[in-house]
Structures are given as structure tokens and as C-alpha cells.
Structure 1
């Protein structure tokens, strides 16, 4: 299966929308979008983050981007490889400006040192028993320098480098990074994608405090397996699924 269009073609700019992911799903369902379509918003009023959280962004300052990807060549059980691919593409993009201190925090946040630079939200569209589409939402901090109290761990490229950036141009660069990594996924280079994801894993081989329900504990972060579970040593259990634990800084 060969994708007909590159990621970022077409590149649709929206002055304002509820959520780029919601907009992308609406367009897909109306047959107004296909593989490669990218929706970039200058601002959104109902941004979606992981686990039902809102994603707040200063208007015009950050990358707010959703892309449509054909995932029909993957099994539902291979979802984490797509997640890893997207995280690596975001890392490729951000580290080219912010340097090697850029890491991937499990499951799919972008970190610089111990601060959050961006987040990823992937929503799937299944038809019958087939995983037909993935809508990949990415929020990456670029020019914003003041963040709300609930985002006190946030950091932006401008804070890191001291430079002001052309946000839509950077969003197009991110699409190019996604295209390169998507071709690896299309070639089913699953093992190398997972190996690289683990090499760039935030706090790998370091001690971290996690919390499951009301229990906090120390453990050593080891790796992530093909199912997307976080593997640790010295914790209350050896592995955790997404949503089971939170990180305590």
C-alpha cells in the first residue's frame, strides 16, 4: 500500500476552530479529507489533550496541528507503533532547534529537560474490524512565554533559544518530519522505530516517582514494550498500561 499524498498535502490553515482533531474527524466523515491532509489552527477554543484534559494555547503562538493518516495497513494491536512514529517525528522536529536534551516522555509527550514542550493525541476511526484512519493531533509550544498555572511545567522554543519563530512554517516542517517517519512505518520497520523511541525515552534508566491510584512509589524507568506498556524495575509492579500511573515531579 503506497500513500498517494505526502503528509501536509493539502495544508489547511484555520483562523479559529473548536479543536483541530474534531475538525479533522468531521472532514473525514464528510469525505472532505484523506491521507496527508493537515489542519493547522491559529487558535482553538476546545483543544483536546490526553485523558480528557484541555489543551490551552496562546492564540497564534504555538503549533496546533492535526493530520490524517491512513492506518489501514496496521492491525489494531499495532497501534503503539504509530504512536511511537509520531512521537519520533515530533522529536526530530523539536530537537533540530532545541538540541539533544529533547526527550519523549511515555506515552507521547515531548519534553525538554524536565519540562513539557508538547503533547500528542491520536484518535482512531475504525470501519468494521479495520483500523482505517488515525487523526493525529499535536500541540507544540513555540513562541509562548507565559503559561497558565496548570501548565507550570511547560516550556517553549522561544524560552529555550531566545528566538521568535514563524509558526505556520514550522508546522509545515513538522509535516515533513511526519512524512519521513510515516514511510518507515509503511515499510513496517517496527523494531527500529521502537528501539529509537526507547533510546530517546525520558528518564530511561533513572529513578522516578510514580503514583497509581493513592499509592506513590519509586522505580527505575526501563523501556516501553510493543504493546505500549511502560516497563520499570523496583515498583509495585513491573509494567503499567497507559493511564494507570501518573508521574510525580
Structure 2
């Protein structure tokens, strides 16, 4: 049986914390703000069908269920901003520099991937009922698959961490940012998001329709579009472009 509290369910092993959390929503057993944490995840996934691999017991593998009746379906990106800042806040408690938010859903430290976010939604008609917020953060893992530019908190600080305790802290930082969003502070949140945007004002390579091009990252719009500039200003939606070489 999982260890269960109002704030977090702790599982030894699960296919996906998002699957487990979504099942709670579908059975009307979900508690808004409650996390589902797993020591080991056998079928973790990221955006665009990618898999999320994590060594058992080494990292934070967490999903937070949150009721979303107060935000319109068209405002889904606003939640992404709040969640990314919640992840940023947690890491900022332990390291003080080189933490960046990589559009649209990654957390980078020292130009390497330290975590990722996958938000799945329950929408009925025009009503956004629940967000199932999946977060993976590399904490104590030191060996990653070849070819993956990843980094963990331990690799930066040299310290081994209690991943369950960090999961509790992450629930607090993420739900705090969501509360700020609910209280109408999105403009401030977006400003902080852009202040910490990965590669802001740098020229990067992106790929669209099998064409690779160089452009300068400027900011993210209030609707979640990536705004860049080269000979002209460009705007890109989620999944319209892919990063190259990062």
C-alpha cells in the first residue's frame, strides 16, 4: 500500500506518476494540491511522445493534481509559467546561478537539462477541470545515457539529498506559484519567467519543417509563443520548432 497523506502519496514503483494521478481524477478521488511521488517510474514520458528515464530512488518524480476551474482553457500556458517558476524556486534554494527555464518545458542548469515538465489536462466542454502536473528533477543521479546533456543537483553541489523531502518542498514551491497565478499576478510571473529564459538574447539554431536556421531568442509571449529576431521578428507555437544542438 502506498504511504498517503493529504499532501503527498508515496509509491515505491509505478509505471507513471501522471497515470496514477490521472486515475485519481477519473475516480473522483483527487485532492487539489496533492502530489504523487514515486521512488521508481518504469514508463515515464515527456512531451511529444518522448520517454523520461530516471534511476530508481535518485530523483524527484512527482505529479501534482490541481483543480483549474478558475482559469480558462485558452490560458493553459499561464499554468506552465507558474509550474516552471516553482521548479526554479526549488533549485534556487540550493544553487544560486545558471538556472534557466528552457521553452517550452525544461529546466536547465549550467546549460544542461536538470528537469522537465509534462502537464496533462482534463477538460469538459469549455471548462478546464483538472491539471495533472508531471515534474521530473535530476537530484542525486550521476550517470546518464550517453548523448544526453543532463545534470543533477548533486553534480553541482557535491551533496546527496533526501528526494522525498525535496518532493515535499517542490509541492510547496509549485503550489505557491499557482496561488500567485490564481490571485491575478500572471504579468509578474511572465516577467520572472522571461528574466530567467534559457538563451535569452543569444543566437541559437532552431529547426522548422526540416530547415535549420539561426535566430536570436527574445522572449516568450503571454500566450506561450517563442519570439525571436533575425532579419525579421518571428513567433513560434509549441512543437512548431525544435532546438538544435542543446
* TM score, norm. by length of structure 1: 0.94
What displacement does 1:236 show? Answer: 7.8
2:80 maps to 1:83: yes
Bigger strand share: 2
Residue among 173, 187, 198 paired with 1:191: 187
SS at match of 2:107: strand
Residue among 223, 226, 239 paired with 1:243: 239
2:107 maps to 1:110: yes
Residue among 94, 97, 102 paired with 1:100: 97
Check the 8 A contact 1:217/1:235 in 2, yes or no: no
Aligned twin of 2:161: 165
2:68 maps to 1:71: yes
Check the 8 A contact 1:84/1:108 in 2, yes or no: no
What displacement does 1:235 show? Answer: 6.6
2:208 maps to 1:212: yes
Aligned twin of 2:24: 27
Check the 8 A contact 2:33/2:64 in 1, yes or no: yes
Residue among 12, 15, 20 paired with 1:15: 12
Residue among 144, 148, 163 paired with 1:147: 144
Check the 8 A contact 1:142/1:156 in 2, yes or no: yes
SS at match of 1:42: strand
2:152 maps to 1:156: yes
SS at match of 2:41: coil
CA distance in 2 between counterparts of 1:149 and 1:66 reads 27
What displacement does 1:97 show? Answer: 1.2
* TM score, norm. by length of structure 2: 0.95
Structure 1 segments of 4 or more deviating over 4 A? none
SS at match of 1:118: strand
The superposition leaves residues 205-248 of structure 1 with CA deviations (integer Å, 9 ceiling, x where unpaired) of 11111111211111100000111010000178601111111111
2:186 maps to 1:180: no
